[in-house]
Every structure is written in C-alpha cells, then in structure tokens.
Chains A and B, each alone.
Chain A
Amino acid sequence: MRQNKLYTVIACMGMLLVGVSCMDNYEKLPVDQFTGEYVFSVTDSMGTQASSFLNSIYDLLPEGHNGVGGDYLDAASDDAISIKQNDPSVYQLAVGRYSANSRIYPVMEWGRYYEGIRKANIIINNIDVVPYKTTFINFNKEVKPLNYTVKAEARFLRTFFYFELVKRYGGVPIIGDSIYQLGDNIELPRNTFEECIDYMVNELDEIKYDLRSITMPEASVFAHAATIEAAMALKSRILLFAASPLYNEKPVTTDNSKLKELVGYESFNNERWKKAADAAMDFMDTFGSNGNRSVGLTNNFTEIFLGFYSGAVNPELIFFRQGGRNKNIETNNGPLGFTGNSLGNGRTNPTQNLVDAFPMKDGKARGESSEQYPYNSQRPYDNRDPRLQLTVLYNGADWLGRQLQTYRGGANNPTGSAEYTRTSYYMRKFMGNFENTNEYDNNYHLWVIFRYAEILLNYAEASNEYTDSPSREVYDAIIALRARAGIEAGDNNMYGLKDNMSKKEMRTVIQNERRIEMAFEEHRFWDIRRWRVAQDVFANPLKGMSIIRTVSSETYTETDLFKVNFEEKHYLLPIPYSEVNKNGNLIQNPGW
C-alpha cells in the first residue's frame, strides 16, 4: 500500500516533468521578425513588402518643421532666433559652438545618410526578384513595370542623401551599389567633390524616365513619391550648389593638397553656372510654364504648404515630406499668450534682419519706395510686400481674431514669462489661415523639399552669374514670383525692379528675393555658406524690435540681440571625429 503511494507520487512528478518540457518553444524563430527573402519575395506580385521597405527610406528624408531640437534650421541663420534661452542646439549651431567631437543633430548627420544609401542599395540589388504585375506610364508615355520606378525612387533617394552629405562636407566616400558586411574593408577614402557632383547628376539623368511624373496617378497612395520632376529639381539644385563660390570660385582654403579637391573644384570654371542655368531652364521648358505645365506657381502663397498636388490649387509642389494632419506647427510656433486650442509656444522668432529684407508693396526697398507706399519707422509694417504678413507675425497683425500685441508686456509678449520673443516677432509661414478664426484647427502640414519657385530662383541666379549682365529671362523669373506675391506691377510692369541692373545689382536682388520667398524653408542657412557671404552677413549683429507702448503711442526701436563670430572653417561642417578615427583614409575638413 505504502509502495503504491510512493509510485503515485513518482508518477505525478514524472507527469510534471513532461508537462514542463512541453511548455517550452513557442516558436522556433520569432514570428514577428522576418528576413530579406520575405521583404523581396518571389511571390509578392504587388510588391507590397518591397514598398514597405522603400517607405523606410522615405522616412529618412528631413523633417524641417521644428526639426533642429524643436527649432527651424533658419534660427541658425540671420533670419530667426529660438525663443529658448536655455542654450538650445540651434543657438549652439548659430554661434558655432560645435566641433568634430560635439556635433549638433540632426544638422550634422553623417551615419543617417549612409543608412539611407545602404537601404537604397538593398532595394537596387534585390528588387528584381519581385514579380511586379503592375505597370506605369512614364513621362515619355512608355509603359514600364513598376519595379523600375521602385528602383529609380531608391536611386533618387540615394542621390538625395549624397547631396545632403556633399553640401555639408564636400566630397564624401561614394560606395556605389555595394552592401557591405561585417569584415569588409570599409575604410573608404573620400571621393573628390567633382566626382560626387558628376555621380549624382549622372544618376539623376539615368533614372529620370524610370520615374513617374506629375500628375501622379493614385495620389492618395503615391503623392509623396519621387517623380521625374523631383529628380530634375534635385539636379538643378545640385548644379547650382556646384557652381556656387564655396565650391567653384573660392573653396575654403587649405594647405593640404589632398583636401583641395575634396572641399571643392580644383579650379574655377564659369561654365558650371551655365550648366546650372540650363538645368533650371530645362526644367521650366519641360514641366513649367513653357512646357507641359504640370508644375507652376500656386496663386495663394499660404496654400503651397497646406495642400497636396493639385493642378488647380497647388501646382507648385514638386517634392515634399508628409507631415500629418494636425496643429503641431501652430502649437509650436504660434504666438504666446493664447491657451487651449489656440496655444502657441512662440518657438521661432524672426529677426528684424529678415523683416528689413522685405521690400515695400511696390517692390522697392524701404526708403526707396514711391510716395504711394512710404516707409514709416514708427509704423514699420504698413505698405510692405504682402509676403511679410504671410511670413512673419508682427505687432498689430491679425491673428486668431485679434490684433497681436507683441510689445513688451503686451498680451502676446508677456513680461512674466521666462520665455518671451526677444524680437517682437513670431513666425507665420506654414501655418493655416487663422487670421480670423478663434482657435487653431487641424491642417495638412507638408515639409516642402522642392517647389517651383526655387527653380525660378535657381535659374535667375545661375543665369545672372553666367552672363555679363542679366538677361530678360532673369527679370521674368523674379517678376513671376513678385507678381504671385501680390506686389504692385508699377507703371513699367517691372514690379519694383530697376531696369538694366548690373550683374552685381541683380545678384543682390536675387539673393534677397530668395531669402524672403524661401524663408524658413532651410535655404538661408546653406545659401549664405555657398555664396560664401556668411562672414559678411554675420558681421552685423542679429537684431530684434523693441516696442514700448504708452497710453498714447508705440515706439519702435531696433535692438541688437547677439553677434555671431563666423569663422572660415564654419563654411563646411566637420566630419564626425569618431569617423575620422575609425577610418584612416577619411580626411577631416580644414580647420577641424
């Protein structure tokens, strides 16, 4: 009897043992993870998985809205400052407090772009196994299977990432279509600046007919995708940078002969401006007002940033990153002094320097304007270029059904607050049309990467630099922008432009027009570098407006905020110190 009990116990224990061993191994491999064969599947005739992989490359495109530690990159130029006084990264960037070792993200990315390049190479090397049944019709009306465009989009994005690297660092290592593995020798040297430019331009020319074109079929799915227009816009931008003084006429000086060809062209060649001008002209002739008109200027300046491709409403978009339907931009950057659904944190404060760059309503500079549109330093926002009020919120501007009080102590610039606008301005651009509503509402917010206005400006600049004196087309390009902006045409239909300007005068006009038209769109930071004028620009202090209100009057006084000491070495960004350490063949930029 007792023995039986014992056996029962032992049997129970045995059962337990078996039970335990049955409970292990849910699954041999984690079922929520998958391998390359699944992503590039021989049975996926829709290419769904491959598209998902492509999406992750798009995800690496820059998000410019409040993208630098919560600020716009333009707050590191002379156009704006951050409201934050606790040493935000954009301020460190502005004053040059960075080094190869303490870099400021995301502006000084290096690895992120090589991550994108690797991903693109994975698509390029693997997409052909996916049996796409779908086809598309390209710009030349040829029918092609969809994997052509998937591969071409990957190559476009790869070129885009290379250009992001080149504009920061000069020549960088080009890795071709290789997908490196552990153990491969990846101590690659930098390619020369020229090789990089040629590689990128060649890539774009090769892929352009494999891309789809505007108007995109199935915009609800593909609106964001790279098109032939995007590729040609990128080409225009690349060639404009390549021709610019920083890389062409006057690269940063260096004693190191090996570095010379990395930071720019070895010698100046004016023909590069022609290439740039031709690329822009080619764009206008093919897609713009002289071509099939798939792209053009949007009538309403604010709509550019709020709506998708639409030939009727927003033809100006060429390429963008989707930002979502929300109030984020308004909440981050709207004026202080509102709460609830009207809350704004006043993040980006345009400077007086930017406000001063806007001409009067007749297109003439302050003080040079006609009697009809005089400038009054105590009513400084009257009679200005209409783009001013679409770009900057100033004292007295209409917003959320009120007139803003940005004088010190006013409702929208409270004294009790630790963070107040030191310039008396807030950013208006990119926001929805909330002049007359009571609170913010959700809007589509796009981060526009290429738009038609840039092509016009690229053309105007390159052409003006190439020729001895500006051609009529240069005037036309600027006039097109001014007309759209709502500047008065004037008796001579010149929209405030002087006749027969010299090359130098025209350069000033174009540079200024680029500044105000493209403010906060991440151009100014790079433009003052490639023009090689940053040292001159920052010779002047950044300025704000001090507005003192008494019972009877308001007094406007310009105040100096701070001065930036811009050194020669700041024209190019430092390659990460750690990368130079790891890779003996990687030469650091001069001064770093």
Chain B
Amino acid sequence: MKKIITIFVFLNVLLFAYSQSFQQKGVITSTEGEALIGVNILIIGEGTGTITDLDGYYELEVKPGDRLRFSYVGYMTREMDVNTNQTTVDVQLAPDQYTNLDEVVVVGYGQAKRLTMTGSVSAISAREIRTVPTSNVQNALAGRLPGFFAQQRSGQPGRDASDFFIRGVSSLNNAGNQPLIIVDDIQYSYDQLQQINVNEIESISILKDASTTAIYGIKGANGVLVVKTLRGETGAPRVNVRLESGLQTPVRKPKFLNSYETAQLVNEAYVNDGLVSQVPFTETDLAAFQRGDDPYTYPDVNWYDAIFKPTASQSNMNVDISGGSDRLRYFISTGYFLQDGLVRHFDNSHDNVNTNYFYRRLNYRTNLDFDVTDNLNMRLDFSTRFMNINEPGSMNATGEIFNFERMTPYAAPFLNPNGSYSYLDTRGFLPTLNARLANEGYKRTRRNDINILYGAMYKMDAITRGLSSNVRVAYSSIDENFRRVSRGSDGYPTYRYHPDTDIYTINPNEKYDYATYSVTSGVDQEHWNLNLQASLNYDRVFDGVHDVDAMLLYNRQTDTRFSNVPNNFEGYSLALAYKYDNKYLADLNLAYNGSDRFGKDNRYGFFPALGLGYTISEEDFFSDRIENIQMLKLRLSYGLVGSDVAPGDRYLYRQVYEDGGGYNFGENLQGYDSYREGALGNENVTWEKARKFNLGLDVIAFDKLSFTIDYFHDNRYDQLVTRHDIPLILGIGVSPLNVARTINRGFDGSIGYQTGIGQVNFHTNFVFSYAKNKVIYKAEAQQRYPWLAETGHSINQPFGYQFIGFYTPEEIGWIENSDPLAPAIPNTDTPVRAGDLKYKDLNNDGVIDDFDKSAIGKPNLPTTALGWTLGANWKGFSLSVLFQGSFDYSFSVVGTGIESFKSQFQPVHIKRWTLERFENGEAIDFPRLTTIPSTVNSAEGYMSDFWLINAWYVRLKTIDFAYQIPSRVLPQYINAARFYVNAYNLLTLTNYKKYQQDPEISTNTAGDAYMNQRVFNFGVQVTF
C-alpha cells in the first residue's frame, strides 16, 4: 500500500515538475474567524516559506506539486497540496485544544504551562464560548470545565445567571460555598461576574486544588475562577464587529387544564370532602363550559397563552478595536446587550408604562499597556457596565398564573366586549392578570459598575536577571438602585359584563377613575472595593534545566458596603516553583493573611500548600521507548486553604449591647430607647479551613488524544455554625463557633480527541465531574430516633416522609373501626380518606408526625455533571455541539406549583386518585383532590418522597454552525467575515412527568420563577 502511494506521488511530481511556479496568496484565520498573525507557512522539503502579516495575509511563490505546511502555536498544523487552479487559498486553522504541550493557562497571579503544572486547573479559551447566546459567562461555562457545577434557577432577563460551584459544596454556610472570582488578579463579586461581556475575555480558568488556591489563602477554600481579559498587541488597528440577534422561547411551557376540565375536578374535590351541598358547578354550568359558546358568563381562558408571547427577542452588539505601536498597546471594546421579556403588552386607556421584563446592558472596556521605558511597563484598565432591569412592579407574572387563588380559567373573561378589563368574582374582586399588568406599574433596577486597574511592572534585571516588581491598584464600585411605580389592584376601574342584560357592573371597590401611581425608590447596593497589590517576581532558568520561579506578594483589600465600616483584608503570599528539565516539578505556595472580621489574636493565618509533579514522558527512557505518548504526568498536591465567610454579624468575636428598637409608653406615646444584649461573643472565632488533597494524571497521546483525571479529597473543618445543642435556657443567642466538619471528595477530568480527516477537522471532548460531600459533625443535638439525625448525610440533605401508597377504602374502614390492622394516620384535624397519601410510620406509634421524617432523596445540587462537545470544520464551515447533563439530585415543587386548590389544575391532576380509577387499576400519579389546604396531601405540610423526585437531565446546551466567507470574495478592506447561527438549550431530556417545571428549578418552591429560555440566534462577525 505504502509503495503504491509513493509511486503515485512520484508520478505526480514528475507530471508537474516542469510546470511554472506562481504566487499563491490568501488569509489565514482561526475557525472562529480571527486573522492569525505570524503563521508559519513552509513548503515541505524546500525549506522555504513565509509568515502571515498583521491581517493574516500571506503570499508565497509555489509550484505545482508543492505541499505546504501551515503551523501556528496553539493551533493544529495543517498540510495542503498546491493546486494550480487556485491562486487565492484561505486557510482556517483549528485550535489545538487538547494536545498542545506549550499551552499556557492563567492561574493565580500569573500563567502556567500545562506541561509543568502541578495543580489542578481547568481552563477554557473565551473564543469557545463567545457565541453562546446568553448574557452570562457562567451560563456558558456549564458542561465545559471539569469540576464546574452550575444550576440556572431562572430565565428572567438580567436575573438568569447560574449559581455555580467548584467541586460541589463543602461548607454548611450557604454563603461560604461561593468560589472566589478573580478578574485580572482583582477580586470581583459574584454578581459582577455575570455582568462581564464575554467579548472582553481572553480566557477563563478554575483553580481547584490547594496548590493553586493556597496563594489566595483565607479566600481560596471554595476554589477560584480566574478571568483574563483581552489586551492589545502591536500592530495596525484591527476592528472587530459582532452583531447578533435572536429569539427566546421557554424551554418548557406549563400546561394547564381548561375550564371544563377544571370545573369537573373542582366539583369532585368538594364531593371528596363531603361538601356535596357546596359543589360550585351545576350540570348546566359544566355543559356550558364544555360548549364554550358563552365566553362572558362561562369564560375559558388559557392565561398562560393570554399573558405570554411565544417568543421574545434579544440582540447583542459588540465592537472592539485593538492594536498598538511600539510603546503603546490598546484594546477597546464596547458592547450592548438587549433582552426582552415574554409578557405581552397590555394597554390601559389612562397611562401606559412598560411593565414587561427586560434587560439592557452596556459594557465598555479599555485596556492600555504603555512601555514607559524599556524596563517600566504601565497599564491602565478601565471598564464599566451599565445595566437596566425592568419587571412588573408588584408581581411575579408566572407565579400569578400558577396561583389558583388568584386566577382560574373560568374566573373572568380576558377582556369585556367593549375592551375594558374584567375582574374576578371571588377573592377580593381582584382584576384579571392582564389588567394588573397594564395598570399596576413596574420596577426598574439600574446598576452601574466601574472597575479601574492601574498597574506598573518594573524589570529589575539590572540587580539580578529575572527579577521584576509589580504594583497594582484596583478600584471597583457598584451602585444599584431601583424605582418602583405602583398602583394597588383597587386603584383603577374594572367591569363585569352580563351578556343577558348587556350591562357592565363596576368592581365593588367602586373605583371609577385611575389612582395616581405611587413612586418608591431605594438603594440595593453601594459597594466600593479598593485593592492594592505589590509583588516581587523572579523567573530564571539556570543551565537550561533548573527553572526557578518565585513571587512575593503583598495584598491588601478594603471593602465597603453602604455606609458601613469597611472590611479589611491583608496578606502576604510567597510562591516558589522549581522545575528540573520539565521532569521533576515542585510548587510551594505559602500565604499568610488575615481579615479584621476576627479578633486581634485570631486575625492572621498561615496557609501552606505543596504541589509535586513528575513528567515521566520527559524521561529519556520513556520517550525512547514509547513514541505515541507525548505527555504522561503525575501530579499530587496537598495543602491548607481557608474561607473567611462567616454568617451574621461582622464582629463575631465580641459581645456587644445594641439598640433594640424603641418601646413606646407614656400618655403622649413617646418612643424610648431600648438596649439589648447581643449574642454571646466567640473570642476564638476564626476562618474555616480546608485541607485539600489532589492526585492527578495527564496524558497526551497519538498527537490526538488527551486525558486528564483528578481525584480529590477535601476535609473542611472549623466551619462556623451555630451550635444546635445549647439549651435556650441560656437566654441569649450565641455567635457561630468553629466546630463543624465535612468532607467532600470526588473526581473530575476530561477526555479530548481531535483528528483531521481529509479537509475535515474533527474534535470532541468529554468532561466529567463528580463531587459528594458528607457532614461529619455539625453540633447537632442527640435526636430521639437515629433517622432524624442530619449528621452523616450530605449538606442540604432533604428530610421528609416515606410514601408507601395511597390509603385504600379498606384501610379507611379499619381506621374508623380502630381495627388493629389500621395503618398509622397523620396528626391532622381532617380525617384521612381513601386516596390520601400514606406514609411510613417509622417509630411505630400509630401517628404520622415529625418523628417519622427521615432523609429522603438527594440534595438539590447534582453530584454528577457531564459535558460532551463535538465539533467539526470543513473549509469555511464549522459546527460545534455541546450536550450537558446533570445527574444524581432531587427536587420538589410545592404549594402553588402543584397542590390542588393552590395550583392551577394541570395534566397530572387528571391522574388523581379516584375510587373508580383505583378500582380499574389505572395509573395514579396524584392523591385524592381536596379543598382543604392542610391535609396529608399537602407537599408544604408533609414533604415526602412522593413529591421529592430524583432527577437527571441532559440538554443539547448549545449548537453552533458558522460559515466563514472566503477572503477572495470580500472587499479589500474587510479582513474576515463570518456568519453563524446557534441555539441555546435547544433540547432537554429528563426523567419526570410529575411537574411542569424545568429540571434546574429551585427545590421546595412553587417552581414559578421566570421560565428558563431556549434561544435561537443569528450573528455576523466582521473584522476590518
């Protein structure tokens, strides 16, 4: 075979050997459409070649039969035969995502080479997520980084950022589980991250183990997310324009029953409760609902469809300019993002205000680098974000639709025949939801973020080679305020139309005219942060094999919220790295830092971490024998990191007396001060600590395959919790004590594979994360029964009853006759009836009560997160698909989301228990319907594993298809142009039928948050 090819090639060469040479030219871009500068183009065998210029343009004299090799750091090398018919050849290079030994990732205060890193870091280049049509960086990261767990709780424009965790959670303080966020080495707040425009970002890393997070000491225990923004490079100005426009539609739209079906079930519930005389609908009513020919007396409105549009628009515009001269480099970016909500517009005749949800965001960033002298470099980064969120002033529109007490399909017509709004005949004569959206005002939240970073780097090679110093001052501020314009639901007229008499009757609150709106405003956030960093860096290679890196860092931070006294943080860090010939690797990170949250003697802590690595593949004995493995590295790290997030009062370490509010007395009712004793101080309060162990393995093989896996075991101790075993006889609250302990362990990693088949580049990457925690000690009082204990379970383990079926008519008979066979009954005033939920009587006392609650289901945070990316490029076309899944978690929907007479009737209610359905052996998914809110069938009163379901989901998270226009058809002044279509949350597979909600819903809620959105998006990107 080989021979045949050789002969074939030989013949070819022969054929064209005497042909004329010619100029081949073209533009080389990445598959994302960026022009690549300095790409090496080599004629194989000739030793001649060229490199691309600032526009990615090349010109090379070739002859037929030549084979060209295009190579560029960080991209997969391509080879291509010269074709006489084509003088203009554009080439796309696909990023080498998996097998690049020189790949550099951003870590704390610097960068690290993948080959020589000892810590556990997952990184992604921002270009991979730039086109995901979501406004939040963290939404785009789901499924792409090993060890990254995300849950998107809401799809509301501007409030749809995912909660995210690195390697799950390990603190019993909920606020104490948020990862530290570092942007250009400066700490950002959780909600500042969601404001950042992804077009300003170069790369994102998450630091997971002690070796990489110890440098952040007291703040590193939850992992660190590090963002590096784009900077200018020397060269002519390059303008990059990106315009996108998309449509949003709910991932999952709730379905409700119509008037006829609802009325039937309502009647049934009354009969079930023995309220036969109060049954609200007569046979005539039911028949009229079924006919549906009298929409004013017998309305039948699908309120979801009436209130919400099927789609809403969003668009995103971004322009950035970058470039630079010898001494000055700049990157300037402006972006504007608009996202509209799904609520339809409803007019009112008096004054129209926009009550729809929407989100507007303007981002601006300038990053400047200035080489003042050859040794002094200064930088100034300025970025700002203006945000505007609009929402209905006094309601959650989805919640209103779910709530049976506020809305039913037969409650009122959508509009009266004369176009006026109607009201509900029941429940305080509430106007219909469209009337309320038209008349009750909006809430507008405005926010302004500013970040300024000023830095200077001075090379001190004069003192000793490799020495430099660095100073940074960063300031950030957030101002957020809101304006609420509101009018009560009795502040405007609504009417009821009577078709038989053609008369309109006004709402009994007798408001004939519009009340004026009342305006309130307030400040949500005022936040200032000043950060000063100074460091000495040393980086030198001795004798070509001894690579020494060192950094000594001083860091101080002052954080002020509103008019409070600032929180101060101060720390020293020392990072030492030694690499011998890229084989033997050692990292020592030491941090000594403190926070004034803690008492004088407990303020400072010392956090050491050691990382060791051994790159076997660099050993001669290995590389000599095994060619196909380019890298095989073992990593190990162990160290201590902390978390200074403490619940409650800032001054936990001292007991103070405080103002207890006024107490009125006296004939003239004077307010007098009252003082009260504050919680008992805990002098010894200090930070939480985590001992983190990480063992990792990196493999790169066949130039195509990469494999990384990390096992971790974190021991989180000295957690600040309020002891639950101190009797209240003490008579005073107690500050949290450093007592609780949890462990968190698991593994994460990825498998990447890339190959080129002919003209097609194909790549795939599978990302897996597993993290499971366990509470070892949390100062819980000894429980009466072992199953009540929370210790030993995971953090946020749900507790509830165990469902063992529905009460049968026979069992109810036994209960009534006090038969010994009778099952246990709940402690309610309404006797149980056949079809009620029956729970296990764990303590066998014949009564279902709190003592029968045990651990059920799983915590809401998935233990397992998977992501699978598939991509291919062919000529100018590229396709990329991401599947993302979460597994091994539970959630429940309660109250207005599901329970009868609290929630709108839904398809699941059709599968309720009835005697007939029971006797016919039909599938029963819901208990007997009842009008009484407090029966055993209420999920709010009796949480159980009937309601709490174990769930998983897999989403087609993003799909992205792009076409790059060949440069020869583009005008001269356009460097590159690219069209793309993509979609977000396109498909969702999940395993439950009980609920209408999205699987990422926040558990134990009504599940009536704004629906998560699916987005279809079209975009164009042009580079000048």
Contact = CB atoms under 8 A, between A and B. Distances in A.
B938 to A, nearest CB: 9
Nearest to B458: A10
B566 A20 contact: no
Nearest to B664: A322
Contact of A324 (B426, B429, B669, B675): B669
A106 to B, nearest CB: 14
Given A33-B656, A416-B508, A56 B663 contact: yes
A20 B532 contact: yes
Contact of A114 (B566, B568, B660, B730): B730
A418 B405 contact: yes
B667 A220 contact: yes
Nearest to A175: B729
Nearest to A34: B657
A5 B456 CA distance: 14
Contact of A97 (B510, B663, B728, B829): B829
Nearest to A98: B827
A416 B505 CA distance: 14
B726 A186 contact: yes
B679 to A, nearest CB: 10
Interface stretch (A116-124, A198-206, A265-273): A116-124
Interface in B653-703: 654-661, 663-670, 672-678, 680, 682
A186 B726 CA distance: 8
A373 interface: no
A142 B744 CA distance: 70
Given A114-B728, A186-B726, A53 B675 contact: yes
B782 interface: yes
B850 interface: yes
A186 B666 contact: no
B677 A122 contact: yes
A565 B829 contact: yes
Contacts of A125: none
B781 interface: yes
B780 to A, nearest CB: 9
Interface string A198-239: 000000000000000000000111111000000000000000
Given A13-B456, A322-B665, A416-B508, A578 B731 contact: no
Interface size class of B (residues with CB under 8 A): 35 or more
Nearest to A180: B730
A468 interface: no
Given A99-B849, A581-B784, A9 B372 contact: yes
Contact of A180 (B428, B532, B729): B729
Contacts of A583: 727, 729
A480 interface: no
A110 B728 contact: yes
Interface in B506-547: 508-510, 530, 532, 534
A418 B657 contact: no
A231 B654 CA distance: 37
Interface string A68-112: 000000000000000000110000100111010110000000110
A182 interface: yes
A59 interface: yes
Nearest to A580: B784
A39 B728 CA distance: 24
Contacts of A581: 725, 781-784
A297 B360 CA distance: 69
B850 A101 contact: yes
B676 A56 contact: yes
A59 B674 contact: yes
Given A17-B532, A26-B566, A416-B425, A55 B674 contact: yes
A182 B734 contact: yes
Contact of B732 (A2, A13, A118): A118
B353 interface: no
Contacts of B657: 33-36, 38-39, 53
B503 interface: no
A16 interface: yes
A568 interface: no
A35 B655 contact: yes
A185 to B, nearest CB: 10
Contacts of A56: 660, 663, 674-676
B294 to A, nearest CB: 20
Interface residues of A, number: 84
Nearest to A321: B665
Interface string A377-418: 000000000000000000000000000000000000010111
B373 interface: yes
B427 interface: yes
Nearest to A120: B731
A181 B680 contact: yes
A182 B378 CA distance: 54
Contacts of A111: 728, 731
Nearest to B850: A101
B828 interface: yes
Contacts of A27: 565
Contacts of A426: none
A562 B663 contact: no
A49 interface: yes
A319 to B, nearest CB: 12
Interface in B388-411: 405
B676 A16 contact: no
A308 interface: yes
A96 B933 CA distance: 16
Nearest to B683: A182
Interface in B710-727: 724-727
Nearest to A320: B665
A331 to B, nearest CB: 15
Contacts of A444: 669
A186 B728 CA distance: 9
A476 interface: no
B934 interface: yes
B634 interface: no
B851 interface: yes
B492 to A, nearest CB: 15
Contacts of A562: 829
Contact of A33 (B658, B669, B732, B783): B658
Contacts of B426: 416-418
B558 interface: yes
A579 B730 CA distance: 11
Contacts of B934: 87, 92, 97
B651 interface: yes
Contacts of A322: 663-666, 669
Nearest to B510: A339
B815 interface: no
A52 interface: yes
Interface of A: 2, 5-6, 9, 13, 16-17, 20-21, 23-27, 29-30, 32-36, 38-39, 49, 51-53, 55-56, 58-59, 86-87, 92, 95-97, 99, 101-102, 110-111, 114-119, 122, 173, 175, 180-182, 186-188, 219-224, 308, 322, 324-325, 339, 414, 416-418, 444, 562, 564-565, 576-579, 581-583, 586
Interface of B: 372-373, 376, 378, 405, 425-429, 456, 471, 473, 490, 508-510, 530, 532, 534, 556, 558, 565-566, 568, 650-651, 654-661, 663-670, 672-678, 680, 682, 724-732, 734, 781-784, 827-829, 849-851, 933-934
Minimum-distance CB pairs A-B, first 8: A118-B731, A111-B728, A101-B850, A95-B829, A33-B656, A55-B674, A56-B674, A581-B781
Given A30-B650, A418-B427, 17 more contacts: A9-B372, A9-B378, A33-B656, A35-B657, A38-B657, A52-B672, A52-B673, A58-B674, A101-B849, A111-B731, A119-B677, A220-B668, A223-B667, A444-B669, A579-B727, A582-B726, A583-B727
23 contacts: A23-B558, A29-B654, A33-B678, A34-B657, A35-B656, A38-B657, A52-B675, A53-B675, A55-B674, A59-B661, A95-B829, A97-B934, A118-B732, A182-B680, A221-B666, A223-B667, A322-B664, A418-B427, A418-B428, A577-B784, A581-B784, A582-B724, A583-B727
